[in-house]
Homo-oligomer: A and B are copies of this chain.
Amino acid sequence: MKVKTQSCVVAGKKTVAVSDQEIEWNNKGTLVQITRGGICGSDLHYYQEGKVGNFTVKAPMILGHEVIGKIVHTDSTELKEGQAVAVNPSKPCGHCKYCLQHEENQCTEMRFFGSAMYFPHVDGGFTRYKVVDTAQCIPFSSNADEKVMAFAEPLAVAIHAAHEAGDLQGKRVFISGVGPIGCLIISAVKTLGAAEIVCADVSSRSLSLAAKMGADTLINPQHDDLALWKAEKGYFDVSFEVSGHPSSITTCLEVTRAKGVMVQVGMGGAVPEFPMMMLIAKEISLKGSFRFTTEFNTAVSWLANNVIDPLPLLSGEYPFTELEQALKFAGDKTQAAKVQLVF
């Protein structure tokens, strides 16, 4: 069965369009009508620069990996037409050494929505209709707020980062960089038992969102003195670096107590002058965090059950036909945190 769709496509730097496309539904997997999707930093990089890190757009690719929708057709005996679902953008191979150890986010043949990592590129979810594996469809109640549920993917990233830190019960937590992911990490660590959450950012707008999301103390490292947090080899049990900035990386190493954990979430280039001696002498555990595994399901559950409220982070919504305007607004960090497209 042929299905007509309209898709938000990037073809290179500053080159996006909403294009008519035709897809095929062959009674395998699930045909989803996408209803809403959040714009992520990587979507913005593809738009602004035509690439994310080393992954360059070489052919038109559908953007987006934070989408929800409703089932149109499915091969599932459990899911029904009309069922609201969050779409997990991960499609691991299921048989590589990582998949076999339930480390699917490290799958060596991962197909992840809207990524130019491989060629041909993997199309994303900013399209009206999309066929996905049924396992990628995580159902949620039709009573749930779609604005809220479209936060499932970034919240999954945040919960995964929190899990990387180990047990958070009673812990003192520092979060450096409170864009949408940093702010969702506030929610995640609070839910997982953190006793105290201190957030740092150079943007007062971001810091005010962090306060709404549950931060106990706000720091602007350009103005505030961090000496107290650095005393006795560091105050915090756990730190999350969510900016990718070299100065923030050093700050996290300084304020994390000896034998503490630092989770690196923020991406950037190679770090010049990385202070390895501090990591050694303080025996810090520096852990990379990348995407998520079962945390996607946890995120859907938390959002559907109002365990956390992500709506302070929603800065605007646009019809998908206004793609470029939405990308421009989302890219203006003086105004926008999360921006959603409505399909």
Chain A interface (Cβ < 8 Å from any Cβ of B) = 53, 96-98, 103, 105-106, 108, 164, 232-233, 244, 249, 257-259, 264-265, 267-277, 279-290
Contacts and interface: CB of A to CB of B under 8 A. Distances in A.
B276 A287 contact: no
Contacts of A280: 264-265, 267, 288-290
Contacts of A271: 271, 273-274, 276
Nearest to A101: B259
30 contacts: A96-B232, A98-B233, A98-B259, A105-B283, A106-B233, A106-B259, A106-B282, A164-B283, A249-B276, A264-B279, A265-B280, A267-B280, A269-B277, A270-B274, A271-B271, A271-B276, A272-B272, A272-B273, A274-B276, A280-B288, A280-B289, A280-B290, A282-B288, A282-B290, A283-B287, A284-B287, A284-B288, A285-B286, A285-B288, A286-B287
B289 A287 contact: no
Contacts of A233: 98, 106, 108
A247 to B, nearest CB: 13
A270 B277 contact: yes
B285 A287 contact: yes
B106 A283 contact: yes
Nearest to A250: B270
Given A273-B270, A276-B270, A259 B53 contact: no
A237 to B, nearest CB: 11
A291 to B, nearest CB: 9
Given A97-B257, A265-B280, A285-B287, 13 more contacts: A53-B277, A96-B232, A98-B258, A103-B259, A105-B283, A264-B279, A267-B280, A268-B276, A270-B275, A270-B277, A272-B273, A274-B274, A283-B289
